[in-house]
Amino acid sequence: MTLFNAKARNALAVLVAASATIAGAAVAAPVTYNLDPGHTYPSFEADHLGGLSKWRGKINKSSGVVTLDRQAKTGTIDVKMDMSTIDFGHNKMNEHAMSPDIFDVQAHPEATYQGKFTRFSGDVPTEAEGMLTLHGVTRPVKLEIREFKCMQHPMLKREACGADAYATFNRADFGVDYGVKMGFKPEVKLAIQVEGVRAD
What one-character-per-residue DSSP string does 117-141 give? EEEEETTEEEEEEEEEEETTEEEEE
Q: Pick the closest to residue 134 from 81, 91, 185 (CA basis).
A: 81
Walk me through the domains of the chain, giving residue ranges and CATH numbers.
29-198 (2.40.128.110)
- The rounded distance, in Å, linking the Cα atoms of 147 and 28 is 23
Query: 13: pLDDT confidence band, cut at 50, 70 and 90?
Result: very low
pLDDT per position as a tens digit, 50-66: 999 999 999 999 999 99
pLDDT per position as a tens digit, 71-127: 999 999 999 999 999 999 999 999 999 999 999 999 999 999 999 999 999 999 999
What pLDDT is recorded for position 200?
82
> Would you say residue 20 has pLDDT above 50?
no
Rounded (to 5) percent helix, strand, coil in the chain: 25, 50, 25
> Would you say residue 7 has pLDDT above 60?
no
Residue pair 55/88 in contact by the 8 Å Cβ criterion = yes
What percentage of the chain exceeds 70 in pLDDT? Answer: 86
User: When comparing pLDDT for 103 and 29, which is higher?
Assistant: 103
